[in-house]
Amino acid sequence: MAMVEIRQFDRSFTAALTDITLRSLEAMHDGTRAEVFDNIYKPFYLHDEDPGNTDTLLAIIEAQPEAIWVASIADDVVGFIAVRMNNVDALGEVFMLTVSPAHQGKGVGQSLLSHVETVLRNKGMKIVTVETITQDFAPPAKRIYENLGYDPWPVERFFKIL
């Protein structure tokens, strides 16, 4: 497993995070992209019409920069994780976990999630949750959640474009 260093986000990482997000979205399975990405995923997460336009990611970063952690290997920024904390329910939600395709499969994703669990616990969160699409492109994500002891909830989430 590669030596992964995890640090709190600061603005010097902004360009690297944008690049990683675009690369990892590009690498998604075409079928899933056509079926899910264009109709739901894009308006839900990335509102931009132009896939090269990263305004939404930048807005996410600006909204809660203190809730983002960045992974590096030998000074290369290779992935990041972003969370939201709900203090009423003591619930931490991971809403972005992304590793550059060139560095996937080296334990970066699992290290990021494991790190964030410790942070959330220290901030008084009692539960951590993360959702993923049950499509073929997501097995590594599911594997990480299983490895770290997450239990799946048999829920279906419904979306409608308004």
Min dist CB 137 to ligand COA, Å, is 7
Return the number of the residue (102 or 124) whose C-beta is nearest ligand COA.
Answer: 102
Q: How far is CA 117 from the centre of its chain?
A: 14
Q: Which of residues 41-100 bind ligand COA (CB under 6 A)?
A: 97-99
Rounded to whole angstroms, the Cα distance separating 66 from 83 reads 9
Rounded to whole angstroms, the Cα distance separating 46 from 67 reads 18
Return the number of the residue (19 or 124) whose C-beta is nearest ligand COA.
Answer: 19
Cβ atoms of 130 and 150 closer than 8 Å = yes
Q: Choose the binding region for ligand COA from 37-45, 62-70, 119-127, 141-149 (rule: CB under 6 A).
A: 141-149
Token pair, residue 83, equals: 């969370």
Would you tell me which residues interact with ligand COA (CB under 6 A)? 24, 97-99, 104-110, 130, 132, 138-141, 143-144, 147
